[in-house]
Amino acid sequence: MAVAFDEMNIPGGDLRPAYQELARWLKETPPEALEYRRQEAELLFRRIGITFAVYGESESTERLIPFDVIPRIMSGKEWTLLEKGLKQRVKALNMFLRDIYHGRDVLRAGIVPDDLIFQNPVFRPEMNGQQVPHDVYVHIAGIDIIRVDANDFIVLEDNARTPSGVSYMLENREIMMRLFPDLFARHRVAPVERYPDELLSALRSVAPNSASGEPTVALLTPGVYNSAYYEHSFLADKLGIELVEGRDLIVKNNEVFMRTTEGVKRVDVIYRRVDDDFLDPLTFRPDSALGVPGLMSAYAAGNITLANAVGTGIADDKAIYSYMPEIVKFYLGEEPILKNVQTWRCREPKDLAYVLDHLGDLVVKEVHGSGGYGMLIGPAATKATIEAFREKLKREPEGFIAQPTLALSTCPTCTASGLAPRHVDLRPFVLTGSKTTTIVPGGLTRVALKEGSLVVNSSQGGGTKDTWILDE
């Protein structure tokens, strides 16, 4: 595995410019003062109640995501390049999704194999020919980015269904400003607080043409037992919109209404945090108690906008991800600004043979996996685990892709034995409205807190950091 890029230190002992002021501040701050503020931050998170549910144990348990008080810092110049690449990628994703549910030019041109679309469990035939307001499918995208050197950001995966984590980005900033005003005073940090306003503006802009006056937006949650429920309620509160469950909504004459204390009120845009399968028991799973009967009829009639659109799961697929450089070139006629990780598609016999021969060196992922589950990290796995994975790959090669074990960049992080480098990634949130695409400067930095670990997911023991983009 290559040596990790250190975001703070240049080999030879010098500091990268973005971190020079932080380094000075750290020298002036006694370790016990830093530890005191770290404990204070944890107390604040507990008080606010920022938790997530972990499934798969004897029963689901509520946990606090560990928060690291040392910010991850990037220069404005670095951010400008990243922002440009993110906008390009999300534009191509939206064009790709429209195409596969309409003209399918990308399939006819042989860029993406037909079976990868039509045999894909997250492809939604119900969306064939369906117009979506303003041709926007992915209104909120969470693009996971890693850094491998001074000049290159690489996309690790695209989250185009219901990307989560933005509440942590906002809360992390609020707590850092409260606990470290002296450190903020020494930097010009670009603000992230406008995210809720930007999101509401994007959602209102994609309301159906039948919406009258100022469009009504609601956030649809599966309910209190969902792992991201804290985020759902947090965002509804910040946006000033109603937080609703399926039972709060009804469909009449192909229009969607929510029950209120003053009677029913029409809803124009639903920011939904419920998966496709559960959205409408009349169209998808008939046993779903989370959805709204008739919602897809209202959608087909053009009377409701769903953000993100139904059927965007195709763009989350890790096999489709491997075609993204070609997809960007096909739709935009441009070279991708952000590179992909080299990817072997196990569905292809030649790639499968290579992966089976090099399992101990590779990361193998389920094409529909998320949250760090169902992965094999070859260099860290036991022989027994590798052999078990080998059998799984032989049985179901189309369900997996493989990638080299990348050295994620490192940032200084508070540990029990003092400051130490830990691996990080970044999830910026890209908002697409009817006319504009916006990205608040920064995003959610996730950090692998265990020494040497490359797994940053909160469900696997990772934590988060505030991400500072310097105004220059």
- 173-205, pLDDT tens digit by residue? 999 999 999 999 999 999 999 999 999 999 999
> 87-101, 175-189, 195-209, 455-469 — which is least confidently predicted?
455-469
- Percentage of the chain lying above the pLDDT 90 cut: 76
Q: 457 or 170: whose pLDDT is higher?
A: 170
What average pLDDT does range 268-287 have in this prediction?
96
Is the bond preceding residue 159 a cis peptide, omega within 30 degrees? no
Give me the amino acid identity at 52: F
More confident residue, 49 or 410: 410
pLDDT above 80 for 458: no
pLDDT per position as a tens digit, 222-254: 999 888 898 999 999 999 999 999 999 999 999
> What would the pLDDT profile of 377-398 be if each residue is shown by its tens digit?
888 889 999 999 999 999 999 9
Over residues 317-327, mean pLDDT: 94
pLDDT, residue 336, reads: 97
Cβ proximity of 186 and 25 under 8 Å: yes
In this predicted structure, what is the pLDDT of residue 57? 46
Contact (CB, 8 A) for 414 and 70: yes
pLDDT at 378: 85
Q: How confident is the model at residue 52 (pLDDT cuts 50, 70, 90)?
A: low
pLDDT for 58: 44
Mean pLDDT to the nearest integer, 330-345: 96
pLDDT of res. 291: 94
What's phi and psi for 291, nearest 5 deg? Answer: -95, -165
Give me Rg for the CA atoms of the chain: 22
The model's pTM is: 0.93
What's the whole-number average pLDDT of the chain?
92
Average pLDDT over residues 260-279: 95
Q: In what order do the strands lie in the sheet with 263-267?
A: 249-252, 255-260, 263-267
User: Would the pLDDT of 53 be above 90?
Assistant: no
301 Cβ contact list (under 8 Å, min separation 6) = 254
